[in-house]
Chains A and B, each alone.
Chain A
């Protein structure tokens, strides 16, 4: 890696001392909180433990069991399908919104704020509002459909629920994606466009030949973050599809991990699920970085 340290920021004598003091709490937190729990999860995935009785070593049995655990397989399928719909949805739509928002018009900051609002609103509260929209008998969406003579749809019923939930999650993520893309768009030098205009390029040509190649770093970053979020998505999904008894009609892996650990006293199995989930995300990340080396343009 190239040395990009700017001389003025390099800590000197006395500053080094303070750097150490001020970073200590964070470092302690990281070592014990994050690193510690990663190590603990790996160890736990090889044992059978219910918190009270001493753990027993079971080797890879927890991982082998996952292949026959129908509930886990369903949760994993749901999570992967969810990610498959959610990631492209968020990237494409938030890029589109960013393009709309990347212009000098009166009140643009108000529009940008509106798009960003879902990101700073309580997920539970917004999920309740979406429940009112999606409701089969009392929902606003069906009221509109019926007003125009259509047949009411059960949005949160089994075959539609996943799509309905993906839509809400995309809606909630547009704001943050827009910020990333706006930053990317604003770093594209204006004279490139002026040169293209002189050469007689249209808007669409400019987008595909100038904008898109130059914001590949932003697209890469956004895809990466969105993928990680997709595998961790939980609040909206649960709030919209929960059943009595704490289960959900759109089960996701994160929730399955929680249920196994805290409700079924199965800490080993829960840890194995967590590691399998992390493993899938790591493979995806490796793929992304491979793509990055080939297609992402840094100037």
Chain B
């Protein structure tokens, strides 16, 4: 019988030890920083964190990095359990969704205590975070969309590289010339152009703007994608895919791992700087040019940022603020830039050799020039659901199930229903 009680004791001890919590060391504040990203990004953030802890020995930072999909599930779950991460990264289009639910801490009091703090940052990268009563988040890095092109394909076709005088008509002509059936089996082996047919950035949003159209009304109650000027932009994309066949339809694109430019079968694509490290491994020579001008001579691209926010219920908002302050400092921004993914929000770093003379042999200045003619990617409540409805409606057009006019008309009705929920 004695042996039995010993077992019970053992099981009990195991259960207890599983429930036990670590007590933090005295005088040290622990904060958690959550981000999405790759293992390389985790390594860089760990170095940034180590530097930060040297300057702030009283703060211990736990950095957690997960991939995009699981990241949001994790953040949601932690909020539901009322143990939100102190700091978490946010994609600007989702910012309002979180802010409007009262999840985020207003950073304005902290910013007021740090005079001149925002001076070094790109004003355009700040705009989306600035609300009537101040900032509830700050950008960490940002992206502009430019035209990537495969130099080898242009050379082989004897065509001139894209330049800043191009209009979308020039793009269409070149794309047609670059669409080839090399082995004569009746199937296209090389496409002139490719873009992500799903999201407005990078791809169709910039085209709609350049044709003089708009995406949503300023008060976010109306989807304007069916207005005549926007329709002219859609028509270009439709004709390129359906008439010229210089853009692969989504099924064809999917067979090349979803990015035909990376797969080396598309000659041009609108894309952000985040793709540079991956594209550099594609085994082709590439460079970048500004996106073409629209019919009226206007040129537009989009700018979107990733930022940091502090949870309203954070137990250590002061320590969290110190970390955000450090993340936007020159030192941290330099390290972040060396990753090669994004444009730093710290203007001096962006305009220095750290950004402009990166390993990838492309004209990085084009990304900075684009800031001037960039519009901010829309951010509003319910963005994800709106974006899904729009993407699903567009998918029916590109699969040829429905005409462009009917498809866009249905899209506007469904998208407006989400906006007016």
- A: residues with CB less than 8 A from B are 17, 21, 50-53, 70-71, 135-139, 154, 156-158, 243-247, 249, 259, 262-265
B198-213 toward A: CB 8 Å interface, digit per residue (1/0)?
1100000000000000
Question: Which residues does chain B contribute within 8 Å of A71, judged by CB atoms?
Answer: 389, 392
Q: How far is the CB of A142 from chain B (nearest CB, A)?
A: 11
- 10 tightest Cβ-Cβ pairs between the two chains A and B: A244-B198, A245-B198, A51-B80, A245-B391, A52-B103, A264-B385, A52-B101, A135-B255, A138-B255, A51-B79
Q: How far is the CB of A283 from chain B (nearest CB, A)?
A: 29
Which one, B58-66, B68-76, B156-164, B233-241, is touching chain A? B68-76
Question: Which residues does chain A contribute within 8 Å of B244, judged by CB atoms?
Answer: none
Given A52-B79, A262-B73, A156 contacting B388 (CB threshold 8 A): no
- B: residues with CB less than 8 A from A are 4, 8, 11, 69, 72-73, 76, 79-80, 97, 101-103, 187, 196-199, 250-252, 255, 258, 382, 384-385, 387-389, 391-392, 395-396, 399, 401, 414
A70 touches B414 (CB 8 A): yes
A265 touches B97 (CB 8 A): yes
Beta-carbon nearest neighbor of B312 in chain A:
A52
Beta-carbon nearest neighbor of A267 in chain B:
B80
B76 touches A51 (CB 8 A): yes
In the docked arrangement, what's the CA distance between A136 and B249, Å? 11
Beta-carbon nearest neighbor of B401 in chain A:
A158
In the docked arrangement, what's the CA distance between A245 and B101, Å? 23
A158 touches B255 (CB 8 A): no
Question: Which residues does chain B contribute within 8 Å of A135, judged by CB atoms?
Answer: 255
A50 touches B11 (CB 8 A): no
A247 touches B79 (CB 8 A): no
Given A52-B102, A158-B399, A21 contacting B391 (CB threshold 8 A): no
Q: How far is the CB of B204 from chain A (nearest CB, A)?
A: 12
Given A137-B255, A249-B395, A243 contacting B198 (CB threshold 8 A): yes
In the docked arrangement, what's the CA distance between A137 and B248, Å? 11
Question: Which residues does chain B contribute within 8 Å of A265, judged by CB atoms?
Answer: 76, 97, 101
Q: A52-B101, A244-B198, A262-B73 are in contact. List 6 more A-B contacts (CB 8 A).
A: A243-B392, A246-B69, A249-B395, A262-B76, A263-B385, A264-B382
Q: How far is the CB of A111 from chain B (nearest CB, A)?
A: 33
Q: How far is the CB of B197 from chain A (nearest CB, A)?
A: 7
- Please pick, from A50, A136, A245, A262, the residue contacting B255 in the complex, using a CB distance under 8 A: A136
A53 touches B101 (CB 8 A): yes
A137 touches B252 (CB 8 A): yes
B251 touches A136 (CB 8 A): yes
B102 touches A53 (CB 8 A): yes
B388 touches A245 (CB 8 A): yes
- Please pick, from B102, B391, B414, the residue contacting A244 in the complex, using a CB distance under 8 A: B391
In the docked arrangement, what's the CA distance between A154 and B102, Å? 47
Beta-carbon nearest neighbor of A132 in chain B:
B255
Given A137-B187, A245-B199, A262-B76, A50 contacting B388 (CB threshold 8 A): no
Q: How far is the CB of A151 from chain B (nearest CB, A)?
A: 12
Question: Which residues does chain A contribute within 8 Å of B8, judged by CB atoms?
Answer: 21
A244 touches B258 (CB 8 A): yes
Beta-carbon nearest neighbor of B313 in chain A:
A52
In the docked arrangement, what's the CA distance between A138 and B11, Å? 57
Given A51-B79, A265-B101, A243 contacting B391 (CB threshold 8 A): yes
Beta-carbon nearest neighbor of A264 in chain B:
B385
In the docked arrangement, what's the CA distance between A70 and B414, Å? 9
B252 touches A264 (CB 8 A): no
Q: List 7 A-B contacts (CB under 8 A).
A: A71-B392, A137-B251, A138-B255, A244-B196, A259-B388, A262-B72, A264-B382
- Please pick, from A21, A70, A244, the residue contacting B199 in the complex, using a CB distance under 8 A: A244
Beta-carbon nearest neighbor of A17 in chain B:
B4
Question: Which residues does chain B contribute within 8 Å of A245, judged by CB atoms?
Answer: 198-199, 387-388, 391
- Please pick, from A154, A157, A247, the residue contacting B391 in the complex, using a CB distance under 8 A: A247
Question: Which residues does chain A contribute within 8 Å of B252, judged by CB atoms?
Answer: 136-137
In the docked arrangement, what's the CA distance between A75 and B395, Å? 16
Q: How far is the CB of A146 from chain B (nearest CB, A)?
A: 9
Question: Which residues does chain B contribute within 8 Å of A51, judged by CB atoms?
Answer: 76, 79-80
Question: Which residues does chain A contribute within 8 Å of B11, judged by CB atoms?
Answer: 21
Question: Which residues does chain A contribute within 8 Å of B387, judged by CB atoms?
Answer: 245
A156 touches B251 (CB 8 A): yes
Question: Which residues does chain A contribute within 8 Å of B103, judged by CB atoms?
Answer: 52
Q: How far is the CB of A299 from chain B (nearest CB, A)?
A: 44
Beta-carbon nearest neighbor of A263 in chain B:
B384
Question: Which residues does chain B contribute within 8 Å of A243, judged by CB atoms?
Answer: 198, 250, 391-392, 395
Q: How far is the CB of B16 from chain A (nearest CB, A)?
A: 14
Question: Which residues does chain B contribute within 8 Å of A244, judged by CB atoms?
Answer: 196-199, 250, 258, 391
Q: How far is the CB of A71 from chain B (nearest CB, A)?
A: 8
In the docked arrangement, what's the CA distance between A139 and B11, Å? 55
Question: Which residues does chain B contribute within 8 Å of A246, judged by CB atoms?
Answer: 69, 388
Q: How far is the CB of B166 from chain A (nearest CB, A)?
A: 26
Beta-carbon nearest neighbor of B381 in chain A:
A265
Question: Which residues does chain B contribute within 8 Å of A136, judged by CB atoms?
Answer: 251-252, 255
